[in-house]
Amino acid sequence: MPSSDAQHSSNPPKKARLELRVSVEDKSLIQRAAFVAGLSQTDFILSCVKAHATKTLHAHEVMRLSEQDRNIFIDTFISPPEPNARLRKAAKRYLKRTSA
Q: How many helices (H) and strands (E) does the chain have?
A: 4, 0
Instruction: For residue 85, tell me if it sits in a domain.
Output: yes
Instruction: For residue 5, tell me if it sits in a domain.
Output: no
pLDDT of residue 6: 46
Q: Which of 19-23, 36-40, 49-53, 68-72 has the lowest mean pLDDT?
A: 68-72
> Is 78 a residue whose pLDDT tops 90?
yes
Q: Is the dihedral of CA 57, 58, 61, 66 positive or negative?
A: negative
Count how many residues are written for the chain. 100
Instruction: For residue 27, tell me if it sits in a domain.
Output: yes
Q: What is the mean pLDDT of residues 20-24?
A: 95
Decide: pTM greater than 0.75.
no
Instruction: For residue 24, tell me if it sits in a domain.
Output: yes
pLDDT of residue 65: 75
What CATH number should be reported for the domain holding residue 60?
Answer: 1.20.5
> Is 91 a residue whose pLDDT tops 90?
yes
Instruction: For residue 3, tell me if it sits in a domain.
Output: no
Q: What is the mean pLDDT of residues 54-71?
A: 88
Instruction: For residue 6, tell me if it sits in a domain.
Output: no
Instruction: For residue 99, tell me if it sits in a domain.
Output: no
CB within 8 Å of 22: residues ≥ 6 apart:
30
**How far apart, in whole angstroms, are the C-alpha atoms of residue 96 and residue 79?**
27
- Domains in the chain: how many in total? 1
Per-residue confidence at 2, pLDDT binned at 50, 70, 90? very low
Q: What is the mean pLDDT of residues 89-95?
A: 95
If one counts every other C-beta atom within 10 angstroms of the C-beta of residue 39, the result is 15
**Containing domain of residue 74, as a range?**
19-92
Contact 34, 41 (CB under 8 A): yes
Instruction: For residue 12, tell me if it sits in a domain.
Output: no
